[in-house]
């Protein structure tokens, strides 16, 4: 294409626009995170939080770390089951590496752009087309969203909290109509989109081909690129079409989250509120914290996670200025904040260690991948070409 042609002009502006959007997302995310953290810490002296952290029962924290490592291993297994519908020779070890590294990117890159790293790694490591990689991420998010609303239903029907009101910073919010409205509107819509894409996607693509084949050249080029992506995306949902594979993925999702709930009673034991937090309370807190992950947030849900965890514990009456039952914390509120900070940043620390291990051992060029994500250059990749023909940053073969 001629460099002076009008069609090439937008491409010249794109590199400048992408960093500006990234900075805007970062500033907005940080503002939300700071506001949420202030709300979460409202009325709790920080020296009490430090005292509680210092007196934590560390053996319970080691148990939480071990359970989180198990969760990552199980999520990699779930990813492998889905990927093998497309790549039967895909290995568990590679999927574990991809999952750990991509989660580190999700926790550090603003605007949820870290989600793009996993499809890029699957393209580089397993030659999985980008559309299929995005379909994998989309399918996993749908499964986890279904698990979230399943836990909310369990809270409403099996483990009801004594109060429906969330109290934070002097404000009161009735969460029941909010959760019910989200379940009624969002969950059926997401399931319907997946069903249409999985069952009717190929027919819709065939119908769209003649539509995008006519019109201006820019329209045809954009339409052709969109159809290529849609074709691979629909192929990525192939796992949904196999009842046995879909059943296996659903069972793995159930096992992952039903066992992971135990991290919350374990954290409560570490900070002296064990008698107040059992499995049922753990279901409620995990569901509310996962629901909070849907809302706009800074990288790694910094601040917002703490706010939603404190809100979830408050629903069960776990709040107050009095000391904890066994005296570990000067106040229940201080124990709650220590609980939230540890469940957030302690787990993120363990996750980062696993990611760093695979980054070093597998020699993955994560900075190059992140630069590709931030610049928007990943959009120019041909999803049907091998990574070595696309300028995709990958393993450092010089080491």
Q: Let me know: does 123 contact 130? Beta carbons within 8 Å.
A: yes
Q: What is d(CA 31, CA 297) in angstroms, rounded to the nearest whole number?
A: 9
CB atoms within 10 A of CB 312: 28
First-to-last C-alpha distance (Å) of the chain: 37
Q: What is the pLDDT of residue 394?
A: 47
Give 142-165 as a 3 state SS string. Answer: HHHHHHHHHHHHHHHHCCCCCCCE
Polymer length of the chain: 399
Burial class of residue 180 in the structure, from the number of CB atoms within 10 Å of its CB (0-12 exposed, 13-18 middle, 19+ buried) = middle
Q: Which of 126, 110, 119, 109 is nearest to 141 (CA)?
A: 119
Q: What is the pLDDT of residue 164?
A: 62
What tens-digit pLDDT sequence spans the chain (399 residues)?
444 433 333 444 444 555 566 566 667 767 777 777 787 788 888 888 899 999 899 999 999 999 999 999 999 999 999 888 888 888 999 999 999 999 998 888 776 677 888 999 998 888 888 878 888 888 888 888 888 877 877 777 777 777 666 665 556 666 666 666 666 666 677 677 777 777 777 888 888 888 888 878 888 788 887 787 777 677 767 666 777 888 888 899 999 999 999 999 999 999 989 889 999 889 988 888 887 776 666 677 777 888 888 888 888 888 888 888 777 888 889 999 999 999 999 999 999 999 999 999 999 888 888 877 777 777 666 555 444 434 444 444 333
Q: What is d(CA 371, CA 116) in angstroms, rounded to the nearest whole number?
A: 12
Q: What is the pLDDT of residue 180?
A: 62
pTM recorded for the entire structure: 0.77
Q: Let me know: does 375 contact 15? Beta carbons within 8 Å.
A: yes
CA 19 to chain centre: 23
Give the chain as a 3 state SS string. Answer: CCCCCHHHHHHHHHHHHHHHHHHHHHHHHHHHHHHHHHHHCCCCCHHHHHHHHHCCCHHHHHHHHHHHHHHHHHHHHHHHHHHCCCCCCCCHHHHHHHHHHHHHHHHHCHHHHHHHHHHHHHHHHHCCCHHHHHHHHHHHHHHHHHHHHHHHHHHHHCCCCCCCEEEECCEEEEHHHHHHHHHHHHHHHHHHHHHHHHHHHHHHHHHHHHHHCCCCHHHHHHHHHHHHHHHHHHHHCHHHHCHHHHHHHHHHHHHHHHHHCCHHHHHHHHCCCHHHCCHHHHHHHHHHHHHHCCCCCCHHHCCHHHHHHHHHHHHCCCCCCCCCCCCCCCCHHHHHHHHHHHHHHHHHHHHHHHHHHHHHHHCECHHHHHHHHHHCHHHHCCCCCCHHHCCCCCECCCC
Q: Which of 333, 339, 337, 311 is nearest to 321 (CA)?
A: 333
Give residue limits of the domains in the chain: 47-377
Q: Which of 156, 98, 146 is nearest to 283 (CA)?
A: 156
**Virtual CA dihedral for 49, 51, 57, 62, nearest 10 degrees?**
60
Q: What is the pLDDT of residue 203?
A: 83
CA distances from 250 to 259, 260, 306, 335 (A): 14, 15, 29, 35
Rounded CA Rg of the chain: 23
CB atoms within 10 A of CB 344: 19
Q: Which of 256, 284, 279, 260 is nearest to 269 (CA)?
A: 279
∠ Cα 353 22 380 (to 5°): 90
Q: Let me know: does 126 contact 94? Beta carbons within 8 Å.
A: yes
Q: What is d(CA 190, CA 141) in angstroms, rounded to the nearest whole number?
A: 10
Q: What is the pLDDT of residue 15?
A: 44
Q: What is d(CA 279, CA 285) in angstroms, rounded to the nearest whole number?
A: 10
């Amino acid at each position: 294409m001629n460099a002076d042609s009008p069609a090439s002009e937008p491409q010249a502006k794109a590199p400048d626009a992408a960093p500006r959007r990234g900075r805007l997302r970062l500033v907005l995310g940080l503002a939300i995170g700071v506001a949420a953290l202030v709300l979460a810490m409202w009325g709790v002296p920080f020296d009490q939080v430090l005292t509680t952290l210092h007196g934590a029962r560390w053996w319970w924290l080691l148990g939480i770390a071990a359970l989180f490592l198990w969760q990552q291993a199980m999520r990699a297994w779930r990813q492998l089951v889905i990927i093998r519908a497309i790549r039967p020779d895909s290995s568990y070890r590679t999927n574990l590496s991809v999952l750990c590294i991509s989660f580190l990117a999700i926790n550090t890159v603003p605007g949820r752009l870290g989600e793009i790293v996993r499809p890029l790694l699957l393209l580089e490591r397993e030659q999985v087309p980008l559309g299929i990689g995005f379909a994998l991420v989309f399918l996993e998010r749908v499964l986890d969203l279904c698990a979230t609303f399943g836990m909310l239903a369990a809270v409403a029907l099996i483990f009801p909290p004594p109060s429906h009101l969330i109290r934070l910073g002097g404000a009161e919010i009735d969460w029941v109509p909010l959760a019910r409205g989200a379940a009624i509107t969002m969950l059926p819509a997401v399931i319907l989109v997946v069903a249409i894409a999985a069952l009717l996607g190929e027919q819709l693509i065939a119908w769209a081909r003649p539509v995008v084949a006519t019109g201006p050249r820019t329209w045809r080029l954009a339409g052709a690129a969109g159809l290529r992506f849609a074709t691979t995306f629909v192929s990525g949902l192939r796992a949904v079409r196999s009842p046995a594979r879909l059943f296996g993925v659903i069972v793995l999702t159930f096992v992952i989250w039903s066992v992971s709930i135990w991290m919350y009673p374990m954290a409560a034991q570490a900070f002296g509120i064990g008698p107040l937090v059992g499995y049922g309370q753990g279901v409620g807190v995990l569901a509310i914290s996962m629901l909070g992950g849907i809302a706009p947030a800074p990288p790694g849900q910094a601040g917002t996670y703490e706010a939603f965890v404190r809100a979830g514990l408050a629903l069960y009456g776990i709040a107050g200025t009095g000391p904890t039952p066994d005296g570990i914390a000067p106040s229940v509120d201080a124990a709650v904040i220590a609980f939230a900070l540890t469940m957030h940043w302690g787990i993120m620390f363990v996750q980062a260690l696993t990611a760093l291990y695979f980054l070093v051992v597998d020699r993955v060029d994560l900075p190059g991948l992140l630069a590709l994500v931030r610049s928007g250059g990943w959009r120019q990749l041909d999803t049907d070409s091998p990574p070595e023909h696309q300028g995709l940053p990958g393993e450092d073969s010089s080491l």
